[in-house]
Amino acid sequence: MKKLGLGLVVIAAAALMLGSHSAWALGISLDIPIAYNFDEGGSADTVSGFKAGIALPVFPVVGIGLGYENYQVKDKDQGVESEVAFEIFDLFAEIPFPFVNLTVGLGAGSHEVTVDALNIKEDGGVTQWFVSIGYPILPLIDIHVGYHDVSAEELDVTVLGIPAKIDASGEMWSLGVRVGF
């Protein structure tokens, strides 16, 4: 009798969880970066680009997906303009909960730093982890905010004959929308 009671509780909990979400066969998301803060201090003057992702359900409501990010971070410090271009490939999981959707993931790729005034153009590797929290506005659509913790390889450069290091590591914030089909 105890097993039957436990089984009914498990079935009721699963029905409640699964019943609060719509079934979907494909999820597509698009995000835009809104802010980038450098670990060494300061924030970028402008950030542009996009993150696109596609996910397929592997369990009744949990999706596994692949993403691609391409964004540029521009900054002007003491009259010298610099740009960091990121290209990152992601692997993520979408986990819906009642009233909120959670996405967690990892990414790896490259970044390129360009400082025209100092004739610097260097590239290196980058890794990240990220999380986004979405609010369902319709059964198959959510809007979400994302946080990315970006670790960029330090680049060795020479500025006016003096060795220096450039570290583009930081945190990025994004806004996006996800649509399920």
CATH of the structural domain 23-180, one choice from 3.40.50.10900, 2.40.160.20, 3.30.70.120, 3.40.50.150: 2.40.160.20
In this prediction, residue 47 carries a pLDDT of 97
The amino acid present at 91, given as its one-letter code, is L
Question: Are the CB atoms for 157 and 122 separated by under 8 Å?
Answer: yes
pLDDT means over runs of 10, the chain (181 residues)? 51 44 76 96 93 90 93 88 96 90 96 90 96 90 96 89 90 95 84
Which residues are CB-contacts of 165 (< 8 A; sequence separation ≥ 6)?
154, 155, 156, 157
User: In b/e form, how buried is each residue of 77-86, taking b as 16+ CB within 10 angstroms?
Assistant: eeeeebbbbb
* Residue 134 Cα distances to 97, 138, 159, angstroms: 10, 12, 44
In order of 29, 88, 97, the CA distances from 176 in angstroms are: 7, 17, 18
Question: How large is the greatest C-alpha to C-alpha distance in the chain, in angstroms?
Answer: 81
pTM for the model stands at: 0.83
